[in-house]
Structure 1
Amino acid sequence: MIDVRPFNSLGGADYGWLKARHHFSFANYYDPSRMGWGRLRVWNDDEIAAKSGFPPHPHADMEIITYVRTGAITHQDSMGNQGRTGAGDVQVMSAGTGVRHAEYNLEDELTTIFQIWIETDRPGAQPSWGAKPFPKADRSGKFQVLASGDAADEALPINADARVLGATLNAGETIRYPLKQGRRAYLVPAVGEVEVNGAVLKARDGAAIKDEAELVITAKADAELVMVDSL
């Protein structure tokens, strides 16, 4: 089963400095049919104006992954962490017992991100933050694990039985991904256009996938993909 959610069907909000589109119910956007996808709770497609951002605010017991599409995001938190994450790279924050953080676009250009929230498997854990560069050449023609609850994946660690993956495909290239029984995938092309088991996804569309033993993904145009595999 593949349920395509076209970008123009997503919820959203425009605050001037922030233009947000929500794949799932979030803030003032509520759709009872889009409350999440398994343990995946939030997938926000955010455009953050230059010299602006999210002021300090709290979170608890959630795994928060930020994939930077263009520009850069600068993180600060109550644990004393600070860091800048650039385009194509990823940061993760396990909110655990509670943390306050801020995310600013300190650049002179628009920054675009995917922010992904996954329900934690370890409520009450010690909060943590980390970031890592992921050169796009390393995921050319294949999925690379960006964040994972499995240490064997050698990715950014999260406290959830989930994987966040990225890939880049040239037009005409195909990759295959086995989806284990009982698991779900949510796939979004950051750019480009792909066909997934016969379903076509354009840039920033979402595909909620389950009960498919294998995903066969073919690029109809050069594409950059982000996907979550979770329970």
Structure 2
Amino acid sequence: MLKKLPKENMGTSNLGWLQSRFHFSFAEYRNPENINFGVLRVLNDDIIHANSGFDLHPHSNMEIISYIVNGEISHKDSMGNEEVLKAGEVQYLSAGDGIYHSEHNKSNKDLRLLQIWIVPPKQSLPRLYGSYKYTPSQKENKLLKIVSSLEGDSKVRIYQDVNIYVSQLEKAKSLDFKIEKNRQVYFVQIEGSSFVNSLELKDSDAMQIVKEENLHIEAISNSHFLFIEMNEQ
């Protein structure tokens, strides 16, 4: 089953310094019929304007992944971590019983990132923080697994049993991905356009994919996409 989610039907917000597109109920976008997709609780497509950002704030019992699309983000947290990440790089945070962090765009250009919140398998797990600097060539015309579970094989590993893949696919090229039994996929077309199992997705559209055995992704134009594979729920 394929359920296309056009960007025009998603929640949006514009706070001046921050523009967001909400894939699920979040902040001022309240939709009790659109809370989550399996263990995926939040997916926000954020544009943080120059010299602004999220000041110090708390999180607990959530696993948070940030995928930097354009620009750069400056991170600082109560565990003593401090770093700058750029386009294509991935940051992860398993908040456990509580952590404070800030995320700022200290540059003079806009920052775009996907903010992904995953529900952990248990409450109050030990806190984790890390990042990985993937290179553009790792995802050019192929799938790159950027996140896996602790038992998986990605450079970024979190507690929950999910796998996150990205790719930048040239026009007219295609990729296939086998979906294992009792697994489901949430697909995000970040930039460009694709056919996903023959359904067209344009930039910022998404798709829920349940009870399918295979994904066939064909780039209509140069295509940048991400998808999250997880257990059916």
Q: Per the shorter chain, which TM-score range?
A: over 0.9
Which amino acid in the other structure matches residue 147 of structure 1? V
Cα displacement string for residues 166-197 of structure 1 (whole angstroms, at most 9, x for unaligned residues): 11100111101111122111111211100011
Taking a change above 3 Å as real, the CA distance of residues 9 and 37 of structure 1, as seen in their structure-2 partners, is same
Partner of 2:113: 113
In structure 1, what is the Cα distance between the partners aligned to 2:83 and 2:229?
27
Query: Which residue of 2 is the match for residue 198 of structure 1?
Result: 198
In 1, Cα distance between equivalents of 2:118 and 2:147 = 11
What residue identity is the alignment partner of 1:92?
Answer: Y
1:29 Cα deviation after fit: 0.8
Corresponding residue for 2:220? 220
How far apart, CA to CA, are the structure 2 residues paired with 1:150 and 1:66? 18
Distance in 2 between residues matched to 1:9 and 1:48, nearest whole Å: 22
Deviation, structure 1 residue 114: 0.4
Distance in 2 (alpha carbons) for counterparts of 1:77 and 1:86:
18
Higher mean displacement: 150-159 or 7-16: 150-159
| TM-score, normalised with respect to structure 1 | 0.97
CA distance in 2, matches of 1:12, 1:212: 30
Structure 1's unaligned 5+ residue stretches are none
Contact 1:37/1:184 (8 A) holds in 2: no
Cα distance, 1:35 vs structure 2: 1.0
The structural deviation recorded for 1:125 is: 1.2
State the shift of 1:112 in Å: 0.4
| 2:79 is the alignment partner of 1:83 | no
| 2:125 counterpart SS class | coil
What is the match of residue 11 of structure 2? 11
2:101 corresponds to: 101
User: 1:110 & 1:128 partners in 2: Cα distance?
Assistant: 28
Where 1:160 maps in the other structure, the secondary structure is coil
Distance in 1 (CA, whole Å) between partners of 2:128 and 2:158 is 9
- Aligned-partner SS, 1:153: coil
Partners of 2:32 and 2:125 lie apart in 1 by: 30
Provide Cα deviations, 1:205-226, integer angstroms capped at 9, x if missing partner: 1111111100000000001111
For residues 28-74 of structure 1, the C-alpha deviation after alignment (integer angstroms, 9 at most, x for no partner) is: 21122311111101000000010100011111111100000000111
Question: Structure 2 stretches of 5 or more lacking a match?
Answer: none
User: For residues 160 and 230 of structure 1, what CA distance do their matches in structure 2 show?
Assistant: 9
SS at match of 2:222: strand
Cα distance, 1:122 vs structure 2: 3.3
Residue in 2 that maps onto 1:138: 138
Q: Deviations over 1:59-113 (max 9, x none)?
A: 1111100000000111111101011110111100011111011100011100000
What SS class does the counterpart of residue 138 from structure 1 fall into?
A: helix
AA of the residue aligned to 1:133: K
- Alignment partner of 1:229 is 2:226: no
- C-alpha spacing 1:161/1:152, structure 2 compared with 1 (3 Å): closer
Deviates more, 1:129-138 or 1:44-53: 129-138
AA matched with 1:169: L
Question: Residue 116 of structure 2: SS of its match in structure 1?
Answer: strand
- Between the aligned residues of both structures, percent identity stands at 34
Q: TM-score, normalised by structure 2?
A: 0.96
In the alignment, residue 190 of structure 2 is paired with which amino acid?
A: A
Letter in 2 for 1:192: G
